[in-house]
Amino acid sequence: MRFILFLTLLGSLALSPSLSASAQQGDRQKITALMDAQTSAWNKGDINGFMKTYWQSDSLLFIGKNGITYGWLATLDRYKKTYPDVTAMGKLDFKLLEFKPLAEGIYLLVGKWHLQRTIGDLQGHFSLVLKKINGEWKIVADHSS
C-alpha cells in the first residue's frame, strides 16, 4: 500500500511541472492577445480602446521620460496630450522579448516598441507588470522609454 501511495505521489509531482508550463503557456497567449488588441486599437487611432488593456484604477502606475503618472485617467490624459492625432500616433509595432511569471496571476513583460510616423519614427523599450484581475489580464504598471 505504501508503494502505491509513493507511486501516486511521485506521479503527481512529475505532472505538476507540465501543468504549470501549460498554464504559463496559456497565460502567455492571453497576454500576447492583450498586446495585439492594444496594437490594433492604437493603429486605428483609438486611444480609449488602447487604454482598455490597462487597470482602470487610481493605482495604475505609468513611468515615462517625463516621470511618473499615477492613475488610469491621468495616463489616458497623458497619452491624449502626447499623441493628439493619428499623425502623431503613427503605426505601432511591439516585439515581445521576455515573459516572466512573478507570482500566481502576475507577469513581467519586457519588449520593444516602434512607432512608424510621417513626422519621424519613435522607438524604445518597455516593461509591463500585468495582473489577472477578475479573470482578465490588465496592465497595472508600465515603464516605457
Write out pLDDT tens, residues 17-76: 444 676 688 999 999 999 999 999 999 999 999 999 999 999 999 999 989 999 999 999
Residue 6: pLDDT over 90 = no
pLDDT at res. 20:
67
> In the predicted model, what is the mean pLDDT of residues 132-142?
97
Average pLDDT rounded to a whole number, residues 85-113: 97
What is the predicted pLDDT for the residue at 30?
A: 97
| DSSP assigned state of 71 | S
The set of cell numbers assigned to 56 is 482602470
The sheet that has 61-64: what strands, in order across it? 67-70, 61-64, 136-144, 122-133, 106-116, 91-103
Q: Is the pLDDT of residue 10 over 60?
A: no
* Average confidence (pLDDT) over 87-109: 96
Nearest to 122 by CA among 56, 65, 80: 65
Q: What is the predicted pLDDT for the residue at 3? A: 37
Say yes or no to pLDDT of 131 above 50. Answer: yes
- Exposure on the CB side of residue 42, measured as CA atoms within 13 A: 23
Return the CATH number of 25-144, one of 3.30.300.30, 2.40.50.460, 3.40.190.10, 3.10.450.50: 3.10.450.50
Average pLDDT, the chain: 88
What's residue 25's pLDDT?
Answer: 87
What nine digits make up the cell of 10? Answer: 511521485
**What average pLDDT score do residues 76-83 get?**
96
Q: Where are the domains of the chain?
A: 25-144
Q: What is the mean pLDDT of residues 77-91?
A: 96
